[in-house]
Structure 1
Amino acid sequence: MSGAIRSPGTWFEDFRRGQRMRHARGMTVDAVTGSFLARSVVNTAQVHWNDRADRDEALGSGFVVFGLITASTVLGLASQDATEHVVAELGYDDFRFLTPVYQGDTLYALTEVLAVHAATDRSDAGVVEFAHWGLNQDDTLVFKGRRTVLIARRLPA
């Protein structure tokens, strides 16, 4: 089983523009992930952790997961295949939360390589831009965003 979830290569030279990945792992968002982390980052929106809070009927009856937990989970699920040899995070852009994620939902990640280019200031790494998407257990798109990273080369140029 572990061989099925290992990526063949995550060095700078291994990435190609247009390359797509469906990441093998999924993660169910439990109460610790959902409520505790929302409180830990001082997100005071009651829909994350208060059983007695008034809820908008459109949101349903479960606890809504804080959006940055959703984003972090999707990025984390993508990390083994996309960013295992990251030297630095350069930026995050265009995060969109498309439908609520609830405690108990399971998230999965997809990635596409948008750009690959040499770093201007170092020979031991290059810049890769990724698009990431998060899906729930029903294959509903819940998140999308872009991430730019500096990834180590297998061998310095």
Structure 2
Amino acid sequence: MIMGRTSNHNYYEDFGVGEIYEHTRGKTITEMDNVAITNLVLNTAQGHFNEDQMEDREFGERIVYGGINLSMVCGLASEDISENAITELGYDEVRFSNPVFHGDTLYAESEVLSKRNSDERPDGGVVEFRVRGFNQDDEQVVGATKRVLLKKHEYYDDD
């Protein structure tokens, strides 16, 4: 495992297929995170807001909206894998494998799945990552495949 990178070492050429990055930061999910962000995106599912109703359901309490979990995990990974992005190209194969609750702390890791030169941009290359998020008990809660167009050293070394 490689622990984090600085922005000087996360250009296209710096990533190797098969490398796994265990990102150093974590984020504890608060009730405010869940309620505020879920309201902002207009997700009014009772599972995120109605504690009374959720007491009698499978998990016994409200759960954090999956979109927040994915966003937080991708944010935790961004400093290491997409700080030098020209653009993010997409997310695929998003899976939510375990619920997240208020007070859980999320951590992230990323694996380099593939890389190739960009057909459209000589100053960049496409890197595909498998980004995974884990809670404080090391249970995976979310995973996704992320494609990023990253800067190449020869074009951007003076940034």
Regarding TM over 0.5, the answer is: yes
CA contact (8 A) 1:92 1:147 kept: yes
Determine if the alignment matches structure 1 residue 10 to structure 2 residue 21: no
Q: What residue identity is the alignment partner of 1:21?
A: Y
Superposed, 1:84-123 pairs within 5 Å as: 84-123=83-122
TM superposition outliers: structure 1 runs of 4+ over 6 Å:
none
Gaps of 5+ in 1: none
- 2:130 corresponding residue in structure 1: 131
CA contact (8 A) 1:11 1:85 kept: yes
Between the aligned partners of 1:46 and 1:20, the Cα distance in structure 2 is 37
Between the aligned partners of 2:44 and 2:21, the Cα distance in structure 1 is 35
The alignment's C-alpha RMSD in Å is: 1.7
Sequence identity of aligned pairs in percent?
Answer: 41
Equivalent residue pairs, number: 153
Change (3 A) 1:58 1:76: same
Residue aligned with 2:110, SS: strand
Instruction: Give the structure-1-normalised TM-score.
Output: 0.91
Between the aligned partners of 1:80 and 1:144, the Cα distance in structure 2 is 18
1:96 to partner: Cα distance: 0.3
Gaps of 5+ in 2: none
Instruction: Give the structure-2-normalised TM-score.
Output: 0.90
- 1:33 corresponding residue in structure 2: 33
Residue aligned with 2:68, SS: helix
1:108 to partner: Cα distance: 0.2
